[in-house]
Amino acid sequence: MSSPDSNGQVTQAACAFIEAARYRDITAEVVAIARRCILDGLGLYVAGSAEESVRILIAEALETGGREEALLLGAGDRKVPAAMAARVLGTAGHAHDWDDTQVSRDPRHQYGLLTHPTVAPLTAALVMSQRRGEVTGEEFVTAFLSGFEVESKISEWMLPDHYQRGFHSSGTVGTIGACVAAAKLLGLRGRELAHALGIAASFAAGIRANFGTMTKPLHMGRAAENGVTAATLAACGYTADPAALDGPWGFFSVLGGGVSEEKLGQGFGRTWSIVDPGVSIKPYPSGILTHQAMDAMLALVVEHDLRPDDVDRIMFYAGNNILKPIRYAKASNHLEAKFCMPALLAMMILRRKAGRREFEDGFIRSPEMQTMQGRITTRLDPEIDALGTDRIRSSIELTTRSGEVLVRWADERYRGGPDNPLSDAELERKVTSCTEGLLDEQRRERLIAVAWKVETLTDASLLARLLQT
pLDDT digits (tens, 9 = 90+) for 40-97: 999 999 999 999 999 999 999 999 999 999 999 999 999 999 999 999 999 999 999 9
Looking at the structure, do residues 33 and 170 belong to the same domain, yes or no?
Answer: yes
Identify the pLDDT of residue 451. 98
Q: What span, in angstroms and rounded, lies between the C-alpha atoms of 332 and 95?
A: 17
Residue 50 vs residue 389, higher pLDDT: 50
Q: Among 389, 409, 429, which residue terminates a domain?
A: 409
Number of domains in the chain: 2
Lowest-confidence segment of 52-56, 165-169, 205-209, 388-392 by average pLDDT? 388-392
Confidence of residue 256 (pLDDT cuts 50, 70, 90): confident
Looking up residue 250, the CATH number of its domain turns out to be: 1.10.4100.10
Say whether pLDDT at 278 is over 70.
yes
**What pLDDT digit, counting tens, does each position of 128-161 carry?**
999 999 999 999 999 999 999 999 999 999 998 8
4 domain residue, yes or no:
no
pLDDT for residue 325: 86
In 3D space, the residue among 280, 273, 275, 314 whose CA is nearest the CA of residue 413 turns out to be: 280
Low-confidence winner among 124-128, 156-160, 370-374 (lowest mean pLDDT) = 156-160
Tell me: the pLDDT tens digits for 292-331?
999 999 999 999 999 999 999 999 999 998 998 898 999 9
User: How many Cβ atoms are within 10 Å of 303's Cβ, its own excluded?
Assistant: 10
Above 80 in pLDDT, residue 410? yes
Please tell me the predicted confidence (pLDDT) of residue 6. 40
Q: Looking at the structure, tell me whether residues 325 and 461 fall in a common domain.
A: no
Q: Which of 203, 213, 214, 212 is nearest to 171 (CA)?
A: 203
Q: Tell me: do 35 and 63 sit in the same domain.
A: yes
Could you tell me if residue 1 is inside a domain?
A: no
**Do 216 and 359 belong to one domain?**
no
Q: What is the pLDDT of residue 104?
A: 87
CB 272 within 8 A of CB 30: yes
Question: Residue 310: how many CB atoms within 10 A of its CB?
Answer: 15
Whether 285 shows a pLDDT value over 70: the answer reads yes
For 154-187, how does the pLDDT look when each residue is reduced to its tens digit (9 = 90+)?
999 999 888 888 999 999 999 999 999 999 999 9
Residue 196, domain member (yes or no): yes
Q: Are 433 and 380 in the same domain?
A: no
Q: State mean pLDDT over 254-260.
A: 91
We report the CATH number of the domain holding residue 348 as 3.30.1330.120
Amino acid 2: pLDDT:
53
The predicted model gives 355-361 an average pLDDT of: 91
Determine, yes or no, domain membership for 397: yes
Both 369 and 386 in one domain: the answer is yes
Taking residues 97-115, report their average pLDDT: 83
Question: 364, 379, 409 — which closes off a domain?
Answer: 409
Q: Which residue has the higher pLDDT, 258 or 175?
A: 175
In this model, does residue 116 exceed pLDDT 80? yes
Let me know whether 392 and 345 are in one domain.
yes
User: Do residues 261 and 295 both lie within one domain?
Assistant: no
Among residues 388, 409, 430, the one where a domain terminates is 409
Q: Which residue has the higher pLDDT, 86 or 287?
A: 86
Cα within 13 Å of Cα(456), Cβ side: 6
Q: Is residue 255 part of a domain?
A: yes
Q: Which residues pair with 396 in a beta bridge?
A: 316, 408
What range does the domain containing 443 cover? 10-283+421-467
pLDDT attached to residue 111:
63
Tell me the pLDDT of the chain averaged across its residues. 94
- Residue 416 is assigned to a structural domain of this protein: no
Three-state secondary structure of 153-205 = HHHHHECCHHHHCCECHHHHHHHHHHHHHHHHHHCCCHHHHHHHHHHHHHHCC
Query: Would the pLDDT of 112 be above 60?
Result: no
